[in-house]
Amino acid sequence: MSIRRFRIALLSAVVATAVAGCATTTSSTGRKQYVGAVSQQQLDQLGAQAFDQTKAQKALTQDGRQSAYVRCVVDAIAAQLPDGQRRAWEEAVFVDKNPNAFALPGGKVGVYTGIFDVAKNQDQLAAVIGHEIGHVIERHHDERITRAYGAQAALTVAGMLAGSRYGDGAAQSVSQGGGMLLQTTFLLPGTRVQETEADIVGQRLMAQAGFDPRQAVDLWQNMIAATNGARPPEWLSTHPDPRSRIGELQKRADQLMPMYEQARAAGRKPRCG
């Protein structure tokens, strides 16, 4: 066996071992997931590191009312999480005009002050935070790391196979072209699925916490107005088409109203601001 073929065989064995170490699980919406490239402890550590880095790089708000407002919404949402996810989540409000927010493994939530321009009330802010926390509890970070790891490993094998047959130039072409192909047909579509799932989970969480699920629709209408509808083509985007998204949110809001009314009857009536 040539050295080149030996390397290919060895790398293929490594990829097979990595895939075997991953696990198949099912999300709360019934979707099959491939996870396990990293442990939950490692995910939590990565989340904490990323959160600390963001706090070191971005200015934190000095407005105590904004911090208390976000903390109130985060606490109300977190109280509705499954037992294994119900923890004291840490939140931070960053001074940034970008209307954005994020949540990370390890119980971290970051909100940019720009989000207050589109989330006009506590219910709309709950739609944002519920969505972001939904990414965490549905193991989307784990899933994306696992998928990216597998995609990169497969691309490396393909490049080596092309190089062994057609030379180094072919290997480089496969690496460059294959990277774009994997990004547009494998990694990004999966992320859009996750965004939809986070919408479903987040809207359910806000209803359980006593926030009006219909306000998720108003939030995205505000978001479209704020961005003038500007976005990349859906096939190159990590988010679903906004108008399609609004339609789905509206359907689910109608279905979630009994849950919302039950939460209010049970005394879950957040007063965050």
Is residue 93 within 8 A of residue 77, CB to CB? The reply is no
User: What is the C-alpha separation between 168 and 132, in angstroms, rounded?
Assistant: 43
User: What is the C-alpha separation between 112 and 57, in angstroms, rounded?
Assistant: 13
Q: Which amino acid is at 95?
A: V
Give the chain's length. 273
Core vs surface per residue 149-181: b (16+ CB within 10 A) or e: bbbebbbbbebbbbbbeeeeeebeebbeebeee
Q: State the residue for tokens 């904490």.
A: 48
Q: Record the tokens describing residue 110, joined without a space.
A: 């970051």
Catalytic-residue membership of 261 = no
**Choosing from 90, 91, 132, 138, which is the catalytic residue?**
132
Q: Record the tokens describing residue 271, joined without a space.
A: 């007063």
Taking the CB of residue 36, how many other CB atoms lie within 10 A of it?
Answer: 20
Catalytic residues: 132
